[in-house]
Amino acid sequence: MPLVILRVVAALALILLLGNPASSRLLPAGDQPIVLLDASLSMTGAPWRGALDSARGFARRRAVVWRFGTGVTAFDTAAPAAGASHLGPALEAAAGRAGEVVVVTDGNVDDLASIPVDLLRRPRVIVLPRAPFFDAYVASVEGVRHVTRGDTVRLRVSYGTAGKREGGRGTGKATLAVSVEGRRLASQSVTLPDSGVLATEITLPASHVPHPGWQVLEVRLDGVGDAEPRDDARLFAIDVSLEPAAVIFASPPDWEARFLARTLSEVARVPVKVFVETEAGRWRDGATLAPVATSELSRAAAGARLVVAMGDPERARAFTAASKNAVLLWPTNGQAGDWYVERPLSSPFTAALAGVLWDSLPPATAVAVPARDSNPTATVALTARLARRGQARPIVKLEQRNGAGGGPRIATVTAAGLWRWAFRGGAAEEGYRSVVAALVDWLLREQGAGSRERAVPEALEVPNGLPLVWRWSSADPARPLAVTLRSDDTTRSDTLRFDAAGRAQLPLPPGVYRYALSGGIERGVVAVETYSDEWLPRAPVFSAQPGEATARVGSVGLRDRWWLFVIAIAALATEWALRRRQGLP
């Protein structure tokens, strides 16, 4: 009988160990709190002093203190400097630790809507709000980046107010002033709204900018007398050239010319001048619609490095034929239909367009099909098929005058409706930009003339507390690049280290910096503003709460209980010993 009992006990223990059923139990909460301090710029002043006092109180309980803003960092007593308040990453990092979680903030959390509810319920929240105040600010400045000395600079400026004025609400007067290097270029009187944002346009001749090249304009709201002066000005970088580097003749003007002009200016980073023929023989400035004399058109075409004729190129033949530089012909009248562009098999564009997602591109709306091949020596760079069937028709052809001896180059694009790629956005827009950049590269005979820079800043101006983000733009694998930045009499050197997505971040204090990347031609200007959204008076969106119990429920399997192994081994060993004593097998 004892042998049977021992065998049953051993068998049951082994079955339980093989099945490994789990049970739940409370895990120890731990006695070390985690304190998350909001280190965004809105905490400057009294809220930050209160946050430090709270941190010192928790430090007596051996608390772990972290700072959060644009990222999560270790604690220090330095003044808050982050240009955003992102609580989500800090709560995710704290979720893996036992102990009470305490958040000390002014209640202005930018990513509150994207944080999971279970993470928001756990922490104890201490809110240290800012005192209410009135603030007038410049919200944004928009305009054309690349202009010539004869152009008019048009800046769309958004400005507004927040908070309540002392003495009641009402309208007020202020002045928007545009200056560069401390020299005022233009000003305009505006009426401040009671609250919210208004927009206006400020115009000034580009010739008023004292120096050609990259300059940084300051747009400031004067005569306000608000409590927060650090958001009263915004910066806008602009490139002023003596002559346009590219000239577009559009006859008739259409969306194709409009999108090409914008993309050409962005990818080649050169000033682009557009002329449109609104009536037969009458050409106008594409920006102002002012009539333009034929002599001025000829002078612009002669001085430009790239001349583009769109719509009906024959209407601009007098200007393109006389050009001794690169020419792009883009007729938009052709056989209508859904023409699907195909990936290049072997052409000068193959490498440049390797990353284009061709299946995501809308079809071209028309293709000009010539009766015969006017130049059989031209190189076909791209083709398209009507409804993906039939013969592939060339839509981008490349040829060089005077043979291969270095004469001017001519590219012909015979597809219409490619502007829809840019209009759709996403992968289609990137495909359009890649095609335009490849055209500029080949036409100007410079390796990467349209995208020759290895890395470019994604934005030329960034608010205070946010890093400058650089994007790797070369076809080569990303690698660290040394960068030199000069501001007034200060020079600093740093290294751009790109992540897997080809992005590098560089935090800088407010100022205007002229940068140069080592070992390349990359030059330009970037600016870090004193403005930040954190300076604006905002109602707290995150309220105080006591938090949830910090004890956690854990799942424990039977294999984690050592005594079950002891029972199984003891039962088997005892049964074996009894069998040997009784002479059983």
Instruction: Delimit the domains of the chain by residue range.
Output: 2-26+555-582, 135-241, 251-443, 455-528
What is d(CA 565, CA 290) in angstroms, rounded to the nearest whole number? Answer: 93
Give dist(CA 526, CA 431) in Å, integer. Answer: 27
Is residue 449 very low, low, confident or very high in pLDDT (cuts 50, 70, 90)? very low
Strands ordered across the beta sheet of 72-74: 72-74, 64-68, 34-38, 101-105, 124-127
State the virtual CA torsion across 159, 163, 166, 171 in degrees, nearest 10: 40
Residue 435 has pLDDT above 90, yes or no: yes
pLDDT higher than 70, residue 145: yes
Architecture of domain 135-241: Sandwich (2.60)
**pLDDT (0 to 100) of residue 352:** 82
DSSP letter for 229, please: G
- CATH fold group of domain 251-443: Rossmann fold (3.40.50)
Per-residue pLDDT reduced to its tens digit, 105-129: 999 999 999 999 989 998 999 999 9
Q: What is the dihedral of CA 420, 423, 426, 430, to 10 degrees?
A: 70
pLDDT in tens, 476-529: 889 999 999 999 879 999 999 999 999 999 999 999 999 999 988 888 999 999
pLDDT at position 448, please?
41
What is the enclosing helix (H) or strand (E) of 130? none
Strand arrangement of the beta sheet that strand 172-180 belongs to: 146-148, 233-241, 213-222, 172-180, 183-192
The model's pTM is: 0.72
| Interval 281-317: pLDDT, tens | 899 999 889 999 999 898 888 888 899 999 999 999 8
Asked whether this chain's domains 135-241 and 455-528 adopt the same fold, the reply is yes
Average pLDDT over residues 423-431: 91
At 580 the pLDDT is 78
Q: What is the pLDDT of residues 225-234, one digit of tens each?
A: 888 999 999 9
Where does the pLDDT of residue 169 fall: very low under 50, low under 70, confident under 90, or very high at 90 and above? Answer: very low
Q: Which of 576, 568, 558 is nearest to 9 (CA)?
A: 568
Tokens encoding 572: 């088997």
In terms of Cα–Cα distance, which of 102, 116, 100, 18 is closest to 68? 102
Between 84-98, 126-140, 373-387, 392-406, the lowest mean confidence (pLDDT) is in 392-406
Place of tokens 């400026």: 157
Q: Are the beta carbons of 364 and 341 closer than 8 angstroms? A: yes
Confidence of residue 553 (pLDDT cuts 50, 70, 90): low
State the pLDDT at residue 374: 60
SS3 at position 574: helix
Cβ-contact 526, 455 below 8 angstroms = no
Which residues, in sequence order, are bridge partners of residue 308? 248, 328
Domain 455-528 has CATH 3.40.50: no
Furthest CA-CA distance within the chain: 122
> Token pair of 172, please?
């007020």
Q: Given pLDDT bands bounded at 50, 70 and 90, which one contains residue 555? A: low
Across 396-414, average pLDDT = 79
